Each structure stands twice: as C-alpha cells, then as structure tokens.
Amino acid sequence: MSCQAIDLSDREDALSDWLEDYGVEDAWKLAEPLAEAGIEVETLDRLTAPWHNDATEMHNLGLRWLSLSFEVMSMISSGLRGAKRMSELT
C-alpha cells in the first residue's frame, strides 16, 4: 500500500470519526468523498462552526450537500478521463 493510499485511509477514518461525533447518520458514506477531495477535520470544524449547535437538520444537510457535491464532481471527472482515453484510441 502506498503512502498516498495510507494517508487517504487515515484521513477517511478521521473524517468518519468526526462525522459520527457530530451526529451524522451513515458517516462512513460521507467520509470517503470528503477524504478523496482532500478535506481535513480542521476544514469541517471551520465550515460547521456557524451551525454546530443547531438542533435542526441544518448541521446534517450542509455536510451531506458538501460530500455529495464532491462525489458528483469525482464521477464527472472520472467520466471525462474515460472519454478522453477513448478518443485517443481512435
């Protein structure tokens, strides 16, 4: 396993722990796209500070939106790379 893969795994674990402590359901689902996007726990601390003690769903919705946005961007990027490789074959 490369150092980069280990760093990614460690970041994903730290994010998953943070999300669980924050009260996010299915934290493991959100941790992967955030980790792959390079998000750190410190970044989440800063981003969530305004609504950290919000008793509503706001604290979950913001994090879910952020994670899903990175996941969609990753899928689009992967599709574009695949299309480029295919066009280079012709």
For residue range 17-50, what is the model confidence (pLDDT) as tens digits?
Answer: 999 988 888 888 889 999 988 999 999 888 888 7
Q: So where are the chain's domains?
A: 3-89
d(CA 27, CA 20): 6
Both tokens assigned to 79: 């599709």
> Is residue 90 over pLDDT 80?
no
Positive or negative: CA dihedral 46, 50, 55, 59: negative
d(CA 70, CA 8): 15
CB 63 within 8 A of CB 22: yes
CB 62 within 8 A of CB 42: no
Provide the whole-model pTM: 0.72
Mean pLDDT of the chain: 84
